[in-house]
Chains A and B, each alone.
Chain A
Amino acid sequence: MITQNASEMAAAVAAGEITSEALTQAHLSRIAEVDEKVHAFLHVDAEGALAQARAVDVARAKGEKLSPLAGVPLALKDVMVQKGVPTTCGSKILEGWRPPYDATVVTKLKNAGVVILGKTNMDEFAMGSSTENSAYGPTHNPWDLTRIPGGSGGGSSASLAAFEAPLAIGTDTGGSIRQPAAVTGTVGVKPTYGGVSRYGLVAFSSSLDQAGPCARTVLDAALLHEIIGGHDIYDSTSIDAPVPPVVTAAKMRNVKGLRIGVVRELGGEGYQAGVLQRFNESVEVLRGLGAEIIEVSCPHFEYALPAYYLIAPSECSSNLARFDAMRFGLRVGDDRARSAEEVMNLTREAGFGPEVKRRIILGTYALSSGYYDAYYGSAQKVRTLIINDFNAAFAQVDVLISPTSPTTAFKIGEKADDPLAMYLNDIATIPVNLAGNCAMSIPCGLAPEDGLPVGLQIIAPAMADDRLYRVGGALEAAFNEAWGGPLMNKAPSLTGGVR
């Protein structure tokens, strides 16, 4: 039952073939069984989840109209606040904090009857590409427990690949939805900036952060996208327009005549051979489906990574200033003799991990007087150039494609104290965040050299999220046919037996 797609589960609940409570309980059992190995969850809210599930069952019994994913369980990245449920962002500094309010995404999920199982592990404050930066220990990739599940949303992607949840919410600042999806063989979408409310998403880098759906299939992601998307007055950067028709697009399975651009700068040197091989095969599959393949150049993409590592740390240095031991969270060193300032300094030293401190210090530097123009200012100009590159590319093609991540999942600990090497994981995903448009990662096979999942990235212009689903849905169908079923069928059972 837990290996089904979310849409199948929802249909079973709606048809009365299974109760949401039983479905939720099945997932809670799976979590109890395998999460010791995977460590996808920081907090499991069994009681809350079962209560939500029962409410859906009651509504169904009364004959109320259910939303398309009603009764289906979901794993929530711990960067989203949920009223009364511990929210840590993978950081010690928020240990034990129970927010007094719901994120807009959480409100929408609750209203849609989606059952929130608990909070998933992540790199501290979403800073990282491996989930090793969590203060609560790393998450393990269900495909190979010695490897990383991607990051920052490794908990969400791993929960899907471990069949602990059929749906998850991630957030993507530089690739934190797409790269984990790529390395776990799942689907992850970074919607258009402003397409999903950021209210209640604990900010890492406000102008880049975007919450989005994670699932095992393109259609499931689309169904979740429709639930969480849309305008929100509480987020001033939210777009006041209807959610693009992503579900319809996911079901189209037709890319005939679509112009698909292959970005010359996203590939080649630095990319693992097996990743490039699977990517190139995918290009041929698309060509075979009738799409027109065009090579495009985005010459400024090589500056995206440096620009990102100025903008994101700068914004984070300001966003994370509120973690100061005064109103919530950790407080260290308050001995009634130390001043507020000393307690702040000690708390932030004790509460933040090395990567967070590194980025705060870097961002503080980039914004400080005398350096602003050279660093933050220049990075903002690069942002303009990258937007221009995208505009030029989208004048020629409908969508762009590239490998999502240059490599498959690497070993835990392999890049732990080499920030620059770690940052390279996001080289193909970052340009999208800088420009604010949308992208999806879908599995495109296993790399021949290590047998690990490879992700393919599809990029569309802002508010053309439906194009992602159109291409993703068609490609997924073609792959499933070629592979004789979804890639996830090949994932290890984690229990030695049959799932």
Chain B
Amino acid sequence: MSEAMLDYDEVIAKYEPTLGLEVHVELNTNSKMFCGCATVFGAEPNTQVCPVCLGMPGSLPFVNERAIESTILIGLALNCEIATWCRFARKNYFYPDMPKNFQISQYDEPICFNGYLDVEVETDDGMRTFRVEIERVHMEEDTGKSLHMGGATGRIHGADYSLLDYNRAGIPLVEIVTKMVPGTEKYAPLVAKAYVAELRDILRSLGVSDVKMEQGSLRCDANVSLSPRGSGVLGTRSETKNVNSLRSVERAIRSEMQRHAARLDDGLKVVQETRHFHEDSGITTSGRSKETAEDYRYFPEPDLVPIAPDPAWVEELRATLPERPSVVRARLQKEWNIADKEMASMVNAGVLAVVMETVALGADSTKARSWWVGEIARQANERGVEVIDVGVTPADVARIVELVAMGELTDKLARQVVDGVIAGEGRPDDVVATRGLKVVSDDGALLLAIATAIASDAAAAEKVRGGNLNAAGALIGLVMKATQGQADAAKVRELLLKELGQ
């Protein structure tokens, strides 16, 4: 059942949006937040579990120091204040994927608070910076995963059941919550997307998370509300859960704005609720309506002692912060001598970090950029995945650029190499070897192919000999066909003309 949507321009003409974003990040620690179990993604079910993360009677949590350190780093990178004393708290609610039926989280004493992140969005008037204020960054633990079985018929009376795997239960999660973000106007969806993208880049540069949206190591809940233009009244917000790609962040916000506006226009109220975003249709649907407001009965976690980060430790961590991505961008734009627009297209495609890595591996910046923004982005788009997840690494691109520069590959062959890498045939050199994609530069082999071409189209050869150089095209085509495109066309032409006395 799809709901009415108002045209986006009309939405903006009548309403002002306010954004709010909650991002959950799985840290890439070796072991879990409160026990020593491994955190490998995709492991066999229930092989990374112990009494602690299964919530068995008698077990107690014990805190992973690196998780604390990573969280403080995130807070520092987001310009937050770091608490001098804080506690974990229990968030009590029952759910089968949560072994203890409470989540160890933080309540009114987050470890990091009051920060901000500036994000750049391309507007009608060029690049503009929007400041997204951060309310809090806090630590908690992930839940297990459920697999729903059966249930072709009605859910309640069918033979339905669920299977639970607790490998993910207890993996450290950091929740980053923004304050309300007003004043983004029609750019609200873009600001939301840019915020998540920038956050992802920062987290990657800190090395604290894999930040893979499709694997769930970075999850975004996007809130938006509308207020009638000039009214100054904050509207009711909806919260769209688990928006799993950058593009979806933008689409979900836009779609929700259109849905809210249509309701408000019809004199209906926006319901404060959880919504689910559907990648295929690009719209949200209502999640479970909360019959009563949840009462989480937070209280300080008695099994864990308070955390009081030593200010000296915090300063040590601050000193290790990498260059801020926005600073990096300004520097690179200058170094690479590119326009705002080109930088924006790289940022929009989410490829800046990989381009940088590719350049760092020795590739020419223009070449590296054009591969990532062009061919690889196109392929990712076709597959509906993020560029960084399409299966090509910066090392792959650097090698491909190198092979082209050495004359071992033509651009056309290089694209086939990219295809092969994406298809999982191995690294570029593997693909070159198995597919036999080498430029035919051996004069002997080319001369043989040329001789064959001349013999098979004697008429064309005569014309060339007679001075009609246009006729050479047909012969070059035959040679290229015979060499399966692996010859350098300019070289073929040169040898052919020489052969025909031109």
Q: Give the B-binding residues of A (Cβ under 8 A).
A: 80-81, 87, 89, 94, 97, 99-101, 103, 198-203, 205-207, 233-237, 314-315, 317-318, 321-324, 326-328, 336-337, 339-341, 344, 364, 367-369, 372, 376
Which of B59, B63, B94 contacts A341 (CB under 8 A)? B94
CA distance A81 to B51 in the complex (A): 11
CA distance A376 to B298 in the complex (A): 11
CA distance A74 to B66 in the complex (A): 40
A328 engages B56 (CB within 8 Å): yes
Q: What are some 5 contacts across the A-B interface (CB < 8 A)?
A: A103-B58, A199-B58, A236-B63, A236-B303, A326-B96
B297 engages A199 (CB within 8 Å): no
B303 engages A202 (CB within 8 Å): no
B-chain residues with CB within 8 Å of residue A339 when the two chains form the complex = 156
Chain B, Cβ-Cβ closest to A343: B96
B92 engages A336 (CB within 8 Å): no
B102 engages A326 (CB within 8 Å): no
B57 engages A80 (CB within 8 Å): no
A-chain residues with CB within 8 Å of residue B60 when the two chains form the complex = 198-199, 203, 234-236
Which of A206, A207, A234, A321 contacts B62 (CB under 8 A)? A234
B-chain residues with CB within 8 Å of residue A201 when the two chains form the complex = 58
The verdict on B267 contacting chain A, using a C-beta distance below 8 Å, is: no
B-chain residues with CB within 8 Å of residue A199 when the two chains form the complex = 58-60
A-chain residues with CB within 8 Å of residue B54 when the two chains form the complex = 327
CA distance A202 to B58 in the complex (A): 4
A367 engages B303 (CB within 8 Å): no
Chain B, Cβ-Cβ closest to A314: B299
The verdict on B336 contacting chain A, using a C-beta distance below 8 Å, is: no
B60 CB, nearest partner CB in chain A, Å: 5
The verdict on B212 contacting chain A, using a C-beta distance below 8 Å, is: no
CA distance A315 to B302 in the complex (A): 8
Which of A89, A99, A101, A367 contacts B92 (CB under 8 A)? A367
CA distance A337 to B151 in the complex (A): 11
The verdict on B477 contacting chain A, using a C-beta distance below 8 Å, is: no
The verdict on B305 contacting chain A, using a C-beta distance below 8 Å, is: yes
A-chain residues with CB within 8 Å of residue B51 when the two chains form the complex = 99-101
Chain A, Cβ-Cβ closest to B150: A336
Q: Mark B286-312, 1 if CB is under 8 A from A, else 0.
A: 000000000101110011110000000
- Please provide the 8 A-B residue pairs with the shortest distance between their CB atoms, ordered closest to farther: A321-B101, A367-B297, A206-B302, A207-B302, A202-B57, A200-B58, A81-B58, A322-B55
A327 engages B59 (CB within 8 Å): no
CA distance A339 to B148 in the complex (A): 12
The verdict on B320 contacting chain A, using a C-beta distance below 8 Å, is: no
B303 CB, nearest partner CB in chain A, Å: 5
Contact A368/B295 with A321-B100, A326-B96 known, Cβ cut-off 8 Å: yes
B399 CB, nearest partner CB in chain A, Å: 46
Which of B96, B159, B299, B304 contacts A336 (CB under 8 A)? B159
A322 engages B99 (CB within 8 Å): yes
Which of B50, B100, B299 contacts A372 (CB under 8 A)? B299
The verdict on B164 contacting chain A, using a C-beta distance below 8 Å, is: yes
A318 engages B59 (CB within 8 Å): no
CA distance A273 to B447 in the complex (A): 120
CA distance A367 to B298 in the complex (A): 7
The verdict on B24 contacting chain A, using a C-beta distance below 8 Å, is: no
Give residues of chain B (47-72) contacting chain A, Cβ–Cβ below 8 Å: 50-51, 54-63
CA distance A315 to B161 in the complex (A): 31
B159 CB, nearest partner CB in chain A, Å: 5
Most central of A314, A317, A327 by chain B CB within 10 Å:
A327
CA distance A318 to B161 in the complex (A): 26
The verdict on B90 contacting chain A, using a C-beta distance below 8 Å, is: yes
CA distance A207 to B59 in the complex (A): 14
Number of interface residues of B (CB under 8 A): 34
The verdict on B157 contacting chain A, using a C-beta distance below 8 Å, is: yes
The verdict on B2 contacting chain A, using a C-beta distance below 8 Å, is: no
A89 engages B57 (CB within 8 Å): yes
B295 engages A369 (CB within 8 Å): yes
A236 engages B297 (CB within 8 Å): no
CA distance A120 to B63 in the complex (A): 32
CA distance A205 to B305 in the complex (A): 15
10 extra interchain contacts, Cβ-Cβ under 8 A, other than A99-B57, A322-B57, A328-B57?
A87-B57, A199-B60, A234-B62, A235-B60, A237-B303, A321-B101, A324-B101, A367-B92, A368-B297, A372-B299
CA distance A203 to B303 in the complex (A): 10
The verdict on B231 contacting chain A, using a C-beta distance below 8 Å, is: no
B102 engages A236 (CB within 8 Å): no
**Dominant SS among interface residues on chain A:** loop
CA distance A110 to B99 in the complex (A): 29
A318 engages B57 (CB within 8 Å): no
A340 engages B162 (CB within 8 Å): yes
A157 CB, nearest partner CB in chain B, Å: 22
A-chain residues with CB within 8 Å of residue B99 when the two chains form the complex = 322, 327
B308 CB, nearest partner CB in chain A, Å: 14
A324 engages B94 (CB within 8 Å): yes
Chain A, Cβ-Cβ closest to B159: A336
Q: Mark B11-55, 1 if CB is under 8 A from A, else 0.
A: 000000000000000000000000000000000000000110011
A-chain residues with CB within 8 Å of residue B298 when the two chains form the complex = 367
CA distance A205 to B299 in the complex (A): 13
Which of A94, A207, A315 contacts B57 (CB under 8 A)? A94
B365 CB, nearest partner CB in chain A, Å: 50
B63 CB, nearest partner CB in chain A, Å: 7
Most central of A97, A203, A322, A376 by chain B CB within 10 Å:
A322
A152 CB, nearest partner CB in chain B, Å: 15
Most central of A318, A368, A372 by chain B CB within 10 Å:
A318
B-chain residues with CB within 8 Å of residue A94 when the two chains form the complex = 57
A318 CB, nearest partner CB in chain B, Å: 5
Chain B, Cβ-Cβ closest to A198: B60
B-chain residues with CB within 8 Å of residue A206 when the two chains form the complex = 302-303
CA distance A202 to B60 in the complex (A): 9
B-chain residues with CB within 8 Å of residue A198 when the two chains form the complex = 60
B302 engages A324 (CB within 8 Å): no
A-chain residues with CB within 8 Å of residue B161 when the two chains form the complex = 336
Chain B, Cβ-Cβ closest to A94: B57
B-chain residues with CB within 8 Å of residue A323 when the two chains form the complex = 57
Chain A, Cβ-Cβ closest to B102: A318
A322 engages B297 (CB within 8 Å): no
Contact A99/B58 with A236-B304, A237-B305, A321-B102 known, Cβ cut-off 8 Å: yes
B-chain residues with CB within 8 Å of residue A205 when the two chains form the complex = 302
B16 CB, nearest partner CB in chain A, Å: 32
A487 CB, nearest partner CB in chain B, Å: 34
A-chain residues with CB within 8 Å of residue B159 when the two chains form the complex = 336
CA distance A340 to B92 in the complex (A): 17
A-chain residues with CB within 8 Å of residue B295 when the two chains form the complex = 368-369
Most central of B54, B61, B63, B299 by chain A CB within 10 Å:
B299
B-chain residues with CB within 8 Å of residue A336 when the two chains form the complex = 159, 161
B94 engages A344 (CB within 8 Å): yes
B-chain residues with CB within 8 Å of residue A235 when the two chains form the complex = 60, 62
A236 engages B62 (CB within 8 Å): yes
CA distance A153 to B361 in the complex (A): 68
Chain A, Cβ-Cβ closest to B161: A336
CA distance A327 to B59 in the complex (A): 14
CA distance A97 to B57 in the complex (A): 10
Q: Mark B59-87, 1 if CB is under 8 A from A, else 0.
A: 11111000000000000000000000000
B-chain residues with CB within 8 Å of residue A202 when the two chains form the complex = 57-58
CA distance A201 to B60 in the complex (A): 9
A-chain residues with CB within 8 Å of residue B305 when the two chains form the complex = 236-237
A430 CB, nearest partner CB in chain B, Å: 16
A-chain residues with CB within 8 Å of residue B90 when the two chains form the complex = 318
Contact A340/B58 with A236-B305, A321-B101, A326-B164 known, Cβ cut-off 8 Å: no
